[in-house]
Structure 1
Amino acid sequence: MAKNSTKGRAPAGTKGRTAANARQAKIQAAQRSSSGGANKIVVATVVVVVAIVAVVGGVIWMETSKKDAITGGGNALPAGVSALGDGYPAYQDVTPVDGAPTLEIYEDFQCPACKSYEDQLGSTVEDLAEQGKVRLVYHVKNFLDDNLGNTWSTQAGNAAFCAADAGKFQAFHDQAYANQPTEGDGFTDDQLAGFAEAAGITGSALDTWQECYDAGKYVDYVNSVEESSAKDGVTGTPTLRLNGETLDLGQVGTPEQLTAAIEDATA
C-alpha cells in the first residue's frame, strides 16, 4: 500500500506565497526603477531651466551693462553742458566776439510754431552764431509728448544730442525741423536715423549714433531740461531769451528786427 509522504515538499500554500512575494518584489523593483528615472528627469529638467535662466540673465546683464556704459547710468550730458537741466551751447568751436549776448531758444521738435520760427529766423540766428555775434544756447523741451500722447519730442531730442556727439547737432536740428511731421503724427525711428545720415553722420559714426539712440543716452537729460525750464517759467515754445530777458516775438519777427535786438544787447 502506497503511503503519502511530505518529505522534500514545501508546506501547503508556501508555493503560492513564494510566487506572490516574487511578483511583489518585481513590482517594488519596477517602482524603484521608475521613481529613479522620474527623479533623473526632474533633476535634468531643473538643470536645463537653471541653465536657461543663467543664459537669459547673463544676456540681460550684458545689455544693461552696455546701456549703462553708454548712458552713464542716466547721467549722460552732451559736450559743453555742466549739469542736468542746463541748456546746450551750440557752435562751441566758435569764439564769441567781446560782449556777445547770450540767446537762449526753448524749442520742442514737435512744435509747429517752432518750425515756423525756424523757417523764418533760424538761418539768421545760425549766421549770427557762426560769426560769434551771439552765444546760442538751446533748451530742447518735450512737453508735447504729454499733449500728443507719444514720445517723439523726447526721442528726437535724444537723437539730436547723439548727433551732437558726432559734431552734427545743428545739421540734425535743421533736418528735424525741415521735415517735421504733421502735428500728432510724430517722427519714426527710421526718419530720425535718416536725419542723422542727412546731417553727415556715416560709417562707424552712424553705428555709434545708433547705439546712442537705441540706449536712450540723453533721454534723462531731455527730461531734465523740460523740468528745469518749466520751473524757470517757460510755458510755451518757441521762447527766446536774450541775456535772460524774454523777447516779444512780435517785435523780433523779422531777421532785421532780431539782428537789431542782438546788436543792441551787445556790450
Structure 2
Amino acid sequence: MSDKIPEGNRSARERLAQQREREKGREKRRRTLIVASAVVGVLGLAAVVGLIAANAGKDDGGDSASGPAVAPSGAIGEAALTLPVGAADAPSTLTIWEDFRCPVCAQFETAFRDTITELADDGQIRVEYHLATIIDGNLGGSGSLRAANAAACAQDVGKFAPYHDVLFSNQPPEPDDAFAKNSRLIELAGEVEGLDTPGFRSCVEDGEHDSWVKKSDTAFREGGFQGTPTVLLNGESVFPGKGDEQISPENLKKWVAEANKGKKPGTATPAEGSTTPSAPADGSAPADGSGAASTPAEGATTPAAPSSAAGS
C-alpha cells in the first residue's frame, strides 16, 4: 500500500486545521475581551465606591461640615472642644466623653451625679465634658447631634450643667430618636430657670453649633476611645474601673483624694452666669487669653452628671 496521502484528502485536512486555528484565535480574542471587560468593571465599581465613601465622609460632618465650627461661650482646650464645669484651678481633672442618646451614659450619670457635683463644688475636681454622636451613627437619626447642639446653646448662657442633667433625666429609649425634635429640646429647657429664651430657641433651631459638635465627634473617633462613657481622671481611664478596683462613688472619691494629696482645693470658680468669649472658629484661645471657662449653670458649678456609654 502506498504511504502517500491523496491530494484531495490532504487539502481537506489542511482546510480543517486552518479552520481550527481560526476558531482558537477567535476563542482567545473572546476570552481576552471578557477579562478586559471584567477589569474595567472592577475599576469602575471601585471608582463608584470611592465616590460614595468620599461623599459619605462629607455628609458625616467633622471638618467637612458646612460652615465654620462655632464654639459655645466658655469652651476651652484644643480647638475649643471642652465644656468645663468647676473651679479652673482644681487640682484634678475629670474628663468625660458622652452622647446624650447613650443609655449607659444616663446610667453613669444617675449613679455618679451627686458624687461628681460634690467633688466639683468642693474644688477637688474640674469636670471637662466632650460631646459625641456615636448613637446617631450606629442607629441612624440625629438626636445625639441635636441634643449636643442644644447643650452647647445652654453653655452660651452658663446653663450647660443643669440642662445636661435635664437631658439625661429625660433621655428617651435608645431606638427612639425623640431628641431629634428641636421642639422637645426647647420644651425641656423650660425645666432650667432662665434658659428658655428667644436667643436659646434661635440657637437650637438654627443649629448654631452643629459644626462644632461634628468636630467634637471627629475628635472622639480619632482619639482611639472605645465608646461612651469614656471617663478619665487626670488622663487615666477610670471607667469601668482602675486597676483591680471597679468604679463606684466611694472609689472615685478615694482616687481623687489620692491624686490631690497635699494639694489645695481649687477656688477660681467664675461668677454665676459669667462666660468667657466664644473661641474663634480656628480653635485659637479666647481673646482675653484666659484658659478658664465660664461654667456653672445657675448657682454653683454643679457638674452635669457625666454620661457616656461603655461600648455603645
For Structure 1 versus Structure 2, the TM-score category normalised by the shorter chain is 0.5 to 0.7
Deviates more, 1:243-252 or 1:231-240: 243-252
1:177 is aligned, of 168, 173, 185, to 168
2:145 is equivalent to residue 154 of structure 1: yes
2:213 is aligned, of 201, 222, 229, to 222
Preserved contact between residue 110 and residue 180 of structure 1 (Cα < 8 Å): yes
Deviation of the 1:96 alpha carbon = 3.6
What SS does structure 2 have at the residue aligned with 1:84? helix
Deviation of the 1:184 alpha carbon = 1.2
Preserved contact between residue 100 and residue 148 of structure 2 (Cα < 8 Å): yes
Question: Any gaps of 5 or more consecutive residues in structure 1?
Answer: 1-72
Cα distance 1:95–1:224, how it changes in 2: closer, same or farther (>3 A)?
closer
Counterpart residue type for residue 90 of structure 1 = V
Cα distance 1:253–1:95, how it changes in 2: closer, same or farther (>3 A)?
same
Preserved contact between residue 74 and residue 155 of structure 2 (Cα < 8 Å): no
- Which structure 1 residue ranges, 4+ long, deviate > 6 Å from structure 2? none
What does residue range 53-72 of structure 1 map to in structure 2 within 5 Å? none
Match of residue 71 from structure 2 = 77
Preserved contact between residue 182 and residue 205 of structure 2 (Cα < 8 Å): no
Match of residue 278 from structure 2 = none
Preserved contact between residue 140 and residue 226 of structure 1 (Cα < 8 Å): yes
What TM-score do the two structures reach when normalised by structure 1? Answer: 0.66
Match of residue 197 from structure 1 = 190
2:78 is equivalent to residue 87 of structure 1: no
Match of residue 101 from structure 2 = 110
Separation in structure 2 between the aligned mates of residue 220 and residue 209 of structure 1, nearest angstrom: 17
Point out the structure with the larger helix share.
1
Instruction: Note the alpha carbon deviations across 1:54-76, whole angstroms, 9 max, x for none.
Output: xxxxxxxxxxxxxxxxxxx4321
More RCO (CA 8 Å, sep 6+): 2
Preserved contact between residue 74 and residue 156 of structure 2 (Cα < 8 Å): no
Preserved contact between residue 93 and residue 234 of structure 2 (Cα < 8 Å): yes
Deviation of the 1:126 alpha carbon = 1.8
1:256 is aligned, of 240, 250, 253, to 250
Counterpart residue type for residue 121 of structure 2 = E
Separation in structure 2 between the aligned mates of residue 158 and residue 171 of structure 1, nearest angstrom: 15
Match of residue 235 from structure 2 = 244
Question: Any gaps of 5 or more consecutive residues in structure 2?
Answer: 1-66, 264-312
Preserved contact between residue 99 and residue 144 of structure 2 (Cα < 8 Å): yes
Counterpart residue type for residue 182 of structure 2 = D
Match of residue 305 from structure 2 = none
Preserved contact between residue 78 and residue 161 of structure 1 (Cα < 8 Å): yes
**How many positions carry a matched residue from both structures?**
190
What TM-score do the two structures reach when normalised by structure 2? Answer: 0.57
Match of residue 164 from structure 1 = 155
Match of residue 43 from structure 1 = none
Preserved contact between residue 85 and residue 225 of structure 1 (Cα < 8 Å): no
Report the identity percentage: 33
Preserved contact between residue 96 and residue 133 of structure 1 (Cα < 8 Å): no
Deviation of the 1:229 alpha carbon = 1.9
Separation in structure 1 between the aligned mates of residue 73 and residue 258 of structure 2, nearest angstrom: 30
Separation in structure 1 between the aligned mates of residue 247 and residue 238 of structure 2, nearest angstrom: 10
Preserved contact between residue 158 and residue 218 of structure 1 (Cα < 8 Å): yes
Cα distance 1:86–1:95, how it changes in 2: closer, same or farther (>3 A)?
closer
Deviates more, 1:170-179 or 1:219-228: 219-228
Separation in structure 2 between the aligned mates of residue 230 and residue 177 of structure 1, nearest angstrom: 22
Deviation of the 1:156 alpha carbon = 0.2
Preserved contact between residue 74 and residue 217 of structure 1 (Cα < 8 Å): no
Match of residue 206 from structure 1 = 197
Deviation of the 1:158 alpha carbon = 0.3
